[in-house]
Structure 1
């Protein structure tokens, strides 16, 4: 079984913990201290939110400021369009920002949320049939209906 651990920097660990728990994620206290918080999305997906100083101990590369530079965009699926909108509402109410309008492709609906540090999260819902068939087949079938 593969587990995903995404390391992201923060300038304020307590603010980051409050933000991610407001989105419905949990915190694993066994891997949380004054330098890092283990944010639990589910049994396989975790964010390690690290203070910038601690993050810097894992690399010799410059740590960028996610408010001004994009290094990555993390996509997380939801089970419905309503769930995408609900998590966005929670994120916006907890200090996040929406950098661009929602994108609706017919087979997929997505919205981007920047956490208070500027890390980019994409929340998306894809029609299950489109995931199985591919978007072109799905759209062609639904255009005829």
Structure 2
């Protein structure tokens, strides 16, 4: 079996979070989704598990933090083109996200913009042209 990664996130409003992540380019996998969980796949190997606080609490005894107040992780998603970064950000904002909680970074060979989901998790949307990357 190929290695996969699943990012598990506790969310306040499952429907709103699912709308945000599908707008960002993911697809809900009904096989691993129910009324308390939505599995949103970005590729065959990358998934985001959105869990209600009640469901998330079944996996940990630690309190659920508030991603709107504290940074908890740095999450990045690659995008296929420079224009695609802005398009993905616009779609995510239309689905309830907040644009650019961190300043955009444009290095010519790489563009990085951020979007905050409805629960405060910040995602970096990154495009890179490895052939134009400075050497050394």
Query: What TM-score, normalized by structure 1, do the two folds share?
Result: 0.86
Q: How much does 1:106 deviate?
A: 2.5
What do the CA deviations read for 1:31-50 (whole angstroms, capped 9, x no partner)?
Answer: 11111100011111000011
Distance change >3 Å, CA 136–CA 128, structure 1 → 2: closer
- Cα deviation for residue 54 of structure 1 reads 1.3
Aligned to 2:37: 36
CA distance in 1, matches of 2:106, 2:20: 26
Distance 2:43 2:86 in 1: 19
Measure, in 1, the Cα distance between the counterparts of 2:77 and 2:22. 15
Q: CA RMSD in A?
A: 1.4
- The count of aligned residue pairs is 134
Q: Encode CA deviations 1:17-61: one digit per residue, 9 max, x unaligned.
A: 111122221101111111110001111100001111211221122
Gaps of 5+ in 2: none
Map of 2:77 onto structure 1 = 76
Partner of residue 4, structure 1: 5
Alignment correspondent of 2:135: 137
Deviating beyond 2 angstroms after TM superposition, the runs of 4 or more aligned structure 1 residues are: none
* SS state at 1:137 partner: coil
- Normalised by the length of structure 2, the TM-score is 0.91
Shift in Å at residue 136 of structure 1? 4.0
